[in-house]
Amino acid sequence: MASNKKYWKNEAELNPNDSIVETLKQNEFVEPIPVDDFLGDKESLSATSTNRRDFLKYVGFSTAAASLAACEGPVHKSIPYVVQPENIIPGVANFYATTIANGFDFASILIKTREGRPIKVENNKDAKVAGSANARVQASVLSLYDSTRLQGPMANGEPTEWSVLDAAVKAKLGSLKGSGQQIALLTQTYASPSTDRLIGDLKAEYSNVNHVVYDAISEDAAASAYEAKYGERALADYDFEKADLIVSFGADFLGDWQGGGYDGGYAKGRIPKNGKMSRHVQFEANMSLSGANADKRVPLTPMQQKIALAQLYAKLNGTSVGGELSENVQKTIDDVAAEIRKNKSGAVIVTGLDDINAQTVVLAINEMLGSKAYDAASPRYVRQGNVKAVQKLISDMKAGKVGALLVDGVNPMYTLPNSADFKEGVEKVGLSVVFSNNWNETTEVAQYTAAANHFLESWGDTQIKKGQYSLMQPTIKELFDTRQFQTALLTWLGSDKSYYEYVKETWNQSILAGNDWSKALHDGVYSAAGMTLASSADADPENTVSAEVDKEAVNVVEEVVAQAGIPIATAINSLVNATSGGGVELTLYSKTGMGAGQQANNPWLQEFPDPITRVSWDNYVTVSKADAERLGFVNEHVANGGLDGSYANVTVNGIVVNNIPVIIQPRSGNWFYRSFFRLRKKSGYEN
């Protein structure tokens, strides 16, 4: 029985004219197998004693050769160690101590490297402060290998050479020397003694340098309150391990409040030992990590939090103030005041309200109580941003008073609420250079983009808390043609020092006090001995220098002056008379995974589920159930098991943000607040 069916071995055979088809038909093996070489010569073949076993060998060889010729294995690129690097044993990890200081996260950490590649972040247990990595710091190692990183400097969006950039900057800075225009530096908080010194050098060279520190998420109120009281722009520190009673007014101290890193101490006090553990009362609007861990959580709008704080102060002081609160809250305040009176020094009050009055009152209460957990003598330096200075800089830029603008570690075009003003200003600046890891909204408007190092490729140092220093060292050579801001500054100052030498010099001169640099570098951290507020000026001349330098900066930007201390009575009065400003009170906060959004391109962090809402890959506005019902918002589960939610348009002061997804979250039956996150991007940039 004949069949017309034809079986095709592969697609190529469909085309009868294809030469491959013909070749394959004729020849089973595309590459010739040298069988003839040893089988062709009959004479020698007959002369040899090829037995059956040998024959099978030949057949075996030809089959193996055919299969080898037919398949191509995957190609793995590898580079041999011609000269094996010192201290690297293949298969054995090396650990280096370094520090992350990206303006939002500050931590002393260890980096695990394998064959020269940083692959993992570990906590630095030698660090007395900020020695633990949070989720973002843990994930920061992946940002080093971000395939969308800038691979070299750019001029107006086109790749260029560092020499071109250097020449342009040097020429511009030279022409601005002694001119009426500012050389403005808009940077993240560094908290770095060496960078402070370097900027001091720059100011010595050019008298018209204006260094403006900008935190995307500001702690301006807390820093200003501390400055007014203690004369230094910093944040009071707290050791929650020593607290028996923690009362928080909207401070998410287990999250990113004042730079975070307080959870270690807090948890030590929370484990019941000998029948005792600390007690934690949280007054807050949006459900935060701290509220979730509190023994008692009292939902209050920010306005009510202010009144509650004023009343607590009055209760402790034996006076009384006005302000209306519900009966329950009133009773809670009474109870808390009674608890505090029983053990004054064991209590500590913190607040996250962006209000200088609230911050001033909190500092006053803690001092009044003599709180053991309160450490005003050795403050933290992790947020130094000055809101007024930033606004002044933008108006100066718009007025054409800025000749050159150098930006590092911040993305103002994305994070500024008034980014349109910034854009207008940048266009009037003679020279704008932006240091950035990625192409972003700010590099878009700048003339020059300086491809910046990742912190794992950089040298540096920080003073996270007074007297607690840590060092940043590269754990890998620059992957691309990048340069860190400090190195560029040194180049532009005409120095032939590397930033490594500069940091080492700073440390040997003014930090180490004769102690060994190599040991400090090995440990990654260094504690100045006997650090107190009074002695710090002597032990650390660097601080005095930078303080003086800051005063100069104030002269250049004449309108920014240190705020005089607010009398406590005025502060209380202002808190009691707090109003919500009409409408709903929207509380903006940073998500655990995203922080201020520096690592938005990090897939680990995007997929990280938020601890409270358990949502990954998104941001949203959280709305209480009662409010959702009133406004018609729904959350529903659909057929494939996913969660769907309504969209909301949120308007603040005429600014509308459209189509924010809504998550319904329990908080309280209160009608007057909802919260919503700042953060991640939907930008048009794609690499």
- Residues numbered 299-318 forming contacts with another protein, rule: CB under 8 A: 299, 302
Least distance in Å: CB of 188 to another protein? Answer: 15
Site for another protein in 143-172 (CB under 8 A): 144-148
Token digits for 135?
A: 């989720």
Compute the chain's Rg from CA coordinates: 32
Sheet holding 94-101, edge to edge: 94-101, 106-114, 117-123
Vertex 584 angle, CA 579 and 588, to 5° = 95
Residue with smaller CB distance to another protein, 5 or 637: 637
- The phi, psi pair for 245, rounded to 5°, reads -135, 120
Asked if 9 is part of the footprint of another protein (rule: CB under 8 A), the reply reads: no
Least distance in Å: CB of 384 to another protein? Answer: 14
Rounded distance between C-alpha atoms, residue 541 and residue 539, angstroms: 6
Rounded distance between C-alpha atoms, residue 437 and residue 443, angstroms: 10
Q: Any idea of the CA torsion for 456, 461, 463, 467, to the nearest 10 degrees? A: 130
Select the residue interacting with another protein from 190, 206, 526, 589 (CB under 8 A).
589
Rounded distance between C-alpha atoms, residue 433 and residue 346, angstroms: 50
Least distance in Å: CB of 485 to another protein? Answer: 22
Site for another protein in 76-105 (CB under 8 A): 91
Asked if 40 is part of the footprint of another protein (rule: CB under 8 A), the reply reads: no
Binding mask 175-214 vs another protein (x if CB under 8 A, - otherwise)? ----------------------------------------
CB 278 within 8 A of CB 246: yes
Residue with smaller CB distance to another protein, 100 or 287: 287
Q: Choose among 390, 424, 430: nearest CA to 183.
A: 430
Asked if 248 is part of the footprint of another protein (rule: CB under 8 A), the reply reads: no
Asked if 349 is part of the footprint of another protein (rule: CB under 8 A), the reply reads: no
Q: Choose among 141, 131, 124, 108: nearest CA to 604.
A: 141
How many chain residues interact with another protein (CB under 8 A)? 147
Asked if 681 is part of the footprint of another protein (rule: CB under 8 A), the reply reads: yes
Q: Calculate the alpha carbon distances from 146 to 122, 143, 423, 480, 685 in Å.
A: 20, 5, 27, 11, 15
Residue with smaller CB distance to another protein, 322 or 603: 603
Select the residue interacting with another protein from 570, 588, 629, 671 (CB under 8 A).
588
Least distance in Å: CB of 177 to another protein? Answer: 33
Residue with smaller CB distance to another protein, 400 or 666: 666
Asked if 674 is part of the footprint of another protein (rule: CB under 8 A), the reply reads: yes
Asked if 354 is part of the footprint of another protein (rule: CB under 8 A), the reply reads: yes
Residue 579, Cα to own-chain centre: how many angstroms?
Answer: 33
Select the residue interacting with another protein from 342, 519, 522, 551 (CB under 8 A).
342
Residue with smaller CB distance to another protein, 165 or 225: 225
Q: Any idea of the CA torsion for 645, 353, 252, 375, to the nearest 10 degrees? A: 170
Rounded distance between C-alpha atoms, residue 62 and residue 651, angstroms: 77
- Residue 14's Cβ-count burial label (10 Å; 0-12, 13-18, 19+) is exposed
Q: Cβ of 222: how many Cβ atoms within 10 Å?
A: 28
Q: Cβ of 77: how many Cβ atoms within 10 Å?
A: 4
Residue with smaller CB distance to another protein, 91 or 318: 91
Least distance in Å: CB of 641 to another protein? Answer: 6
Stretch that binds another protein, among 187-195, 333-341, 512-520, 523-531 (CB under 8 A): 333-341
Cβ neighbours for 166, distance < 8 A, ≥ 6 positions apart: 488, 491, 492
Asked if 387 is part of the footprint of another protein (rule: CB under 8 A), the reply reads: yes
Least distance in Å: CB of 399 to another protein? Answer: 20
Site for another protein in 641-670 (CB under 8 A): 641-653, 655, 657-663, 666-669
Vertex 108 angle, CA 102 and 110, to 5° = 110
Residue with smaller CB distance to another protein, 509 or 683: 683
Residue with smaller CB distance to another protein, 197 or 280: 280
Asked if 18 is part of the footprint of another protein (rule: CB under 8 A), the reply reads: no
Residue with smaller CB distance to another protein, 441 or 542: 441
* Strand, helix or coil for residue 281: strand
Asked if 671 is part of the footprint of another protein (rule: CB under 8 A), the reply reads: no
Asked if 615 is part of the footprint of another protein (rule: CB under 8 A), the reply reads: yes
Select the residue interacting with another protein from 157, 370, 417, 567 (CB under 8 A).
417
Least distance in Å: CB of 160 to another protein? Answer: 22
Asked if 686 is part of the footprint of another protein (rule: CB under 8 A), the reply reads: yes
The alpha carbon dihedral of 485, 489, 490, 494 has a sign of positive
Least distance in Å: CB of 295 to another protein? Answer: 5
Residue with smaller CB distance to another protein, 148 or 544: 148
Least distance in Å: CB of 684 to another protein? Answer: 8
Asked if 396 is part of the footprint of another protein (rule: CB under 8 A), the reply reads: no
Cβ neighbours for 646, distance < 8 A, ≥ 6 positions apart: 632, 633, 634, 635, 661, 662
Residue with smaller CB distance to another protein, 278 or 462: 278
Q: Calculate the alpha carbon distances from 455 to 117, 140, 150, 506 in Å.
A: 14, 9, 14, 19
Q: Cβ of 99: how many Cβ atoms within 10 Å?
A: 26
Least distance in Å: CB of 605 to another protein? Answer: 7
Binding mask 111-140 vs another protein (x if CB under 8 A, - otherwise)? ---xx-x-xxxxx-------xxxxxxxxx-
Rounded distance between C-alpha atoms, residue 384 and residue 130, angstroms: 17
* Strand, helix or coil for residue 636: strand
Rounded distance between C-alpha atoms, residue 618 and residue 661, angstroms: 9
Select the residue interacting with another protein from 19, 494, 632, 639 (CB under 8 A).
632
The DSSP call for residue 243 is -
- DSSP codes joined into one string, 326-378: -HHHHHHHHHHHHHHHHTGGGEEEEE--S-HHHHHHHHHHHHHHT-TTEEEEE
Site for another protein in 473-502 (CB under 8 A): 479
Select the residue interacting with another protein from 84, 616, 629, 671 (CB under 8 A).
616
Asked if 685 is part of the footprint of another protein (rule: CB under 8 A), the reply reads: yes
Asked if 325 is part of the footprint of another protein (rule: CB under 8 A), the reply reads: no
Binding mask 510-529 vs another protein (x if CB under 8 A, - otherwise)? --------------------
Residue with smaller CB distance to another protein, 177 or 630: 630
Token digits for 525?
A: 């951290």
Q: Choose among 542, 514, 544, 517: nearest CA to 529.
A: 514
Select the residue interacting with another protein from 164, 338, 399, 569 (CB under 8 A).
338
Least distance in Å: CB of 640 to another protein? Answer: 6
Asked if 277 is part of the footprint of another protein (rule: CB under 8 A), the reply reads: yes
Residue with smaller CB distance to another protein, 567 or 669: 669
Stretch that binds another protein, among 36-44, 352-360, 393-401, 495-503 (CB under 8 A): 352-360
